[in-house]
Amino acid sequence: MAATAGKSPVSSSFVQKLNPRTSYCYQASYSTINLPRRLRRIHSQACNNISSSSDQVPDSVNKQAKAIELQKLIDDDSRDSSISLPRPLTSASLSNLATEGSRLRVAYQGVRGAYSESAAEKAYPNCEAVPCEQFDTAFEAVERWLVDRAVLPIENSLGGSIHRNYDLLLRHRLHIVGEVKLAIRHCLLANPDANLEELKRVLSHPQALAQCENTLTKLGLVREAVDDTAGAAKFIAFHKLKDAGAVASETAARIYGLNILARDIQDDSDNITRFLMLAREPIIPGIDKPFKTSIVFSLEEGPGELFKALAVFAMRNINLTKIESRPLPKQALRAFVDSVKNFPYLFYVDFEASMADQNAQYALGHLEEFATFLRVLGSYPADTGTP
């Protein structure tokens, strides 16, 4: 297979269609609106009630927000009303958007004390971290102008990929604008009047429970999976459980008034989660620092097709840092591509190069010649620091 080194490189603006089957979409206009400074929790219903018009401008959010109805975060019989917890976004709070400051609002999945909150604050210091009920809600919050960014996990060094977020990257039109790596240090938490001998069960996210398998087995605790680690801490605190503990962060213990019975209970100390930073608009890639580019593509069925796809990077000495295959039905792509053929898998690839680099442009131009679908998810600075 010969390289097409003589052809013109793909434009870094990525607004041209390369052929009827595929297209790159890469823009560079930025817009933000201002939301209240107080921490807010976004519920999925809030996003669903906002207009889905893609050309909606920030000024119309005030009108649309009148239809938002949000359920309460904390029951009236909350154990400790002095705990500072985020409240739902309301139409009243959205009415003052224009008068608020310009503090960046960053959505994350979970409740206060989640590892995702720490990742959001590491990615955007001094931001207003906004908790969301589900991953879907965080994507929707960015698209509906409720927040400026989202920081969501994509893979863990022990537990592997967060498949749900790979699927959501394709379903939504957000762009990856950065990444941040966070060291995960699990603690065993319990209410102040509970002790280790009384515990019979432990609650946490399934991945957190799996990462602490050996410790929990030695303690003889029954594992119960919940949506997130901090949510487990909140649950046992608000329900004053004495027979149950939670695997969560030290921050969650402080927020919910829990005791730390054991620290660093993960089986492997090298426990790192990689998070993606998402925005409505892409950034302009550069060459002044290490960059990564994330793409998703599909191929015709047949022997050697994936080999050919990966070879376009190898022959240009471009290093791949990750490849993930995900099955997806054709109808899920109809919003993006008009001529998608039947295919069972999509391939998500991260590689170490900026789209400002001609080698990367040539590689994608070459891949486009035989891919049935190709989309650039983002070209962004790599996190080369200490997690």
- Fold adopted by 187-262: D-Maltodextrin-Binding Protein; domain 2 (3.40.190)
Looking at the chain, the domain(s) classified CATH 3.30.70.260 span 12-26+282-381
pTM: predicted TM-score of the whole model, two decimal places: 0.74
pLDDT above 50 (res 96): no
Rounded mean pLDDT of 15-40? 36
The string of pLDDT tens digits covering residues 250-289 is 999 999 999 999 999 999 988 999 999 999 999 999 988 9
Give every CB contact of residue 183 below 8 A, 6+ residues apart in sequence: 271, 272, 387
Q: How far apart are CA 384 and CA 376, in angstroms?
A: 22
The CATH superfamily label for domain 70-184+272-277 reads Periplasmic binding protein-like II (3.40.190.10)
Closest CA to 230 of 142, 146, 129: 129
Tell me what pLDDT residue 386 has.
83
Tell me what pLDDT residue 345 has.
87
Question: Catalytic residue among 215, 229, 273, 372, which?
Answer: 273
pLDDT above 90 (res 330): no
The string of pLDDT tens digits covering residues 98-133 is 334 458 999 999 999 999 999 999 999 999 999 999
Is 135 catalytic? The answer is: no
Minimum mean pLDDT range among 41-50, 78-87, 336-345? 78-87
Q: Which CATH class is domain 12-26+282-381?
A: alpha beta
Tell me what pLDDT residue 333 has.
52
Question: Catalytic residue among 14, 275, 313, 347, which?
Answer: 275
Is 370 catalytic? The answer is: no
Looking at the chain, the domain(s) classified CATH 3.40.190.10 span 70-184+272-277, 187-262
Q: The tokens of 70 are what? A: 């949000």
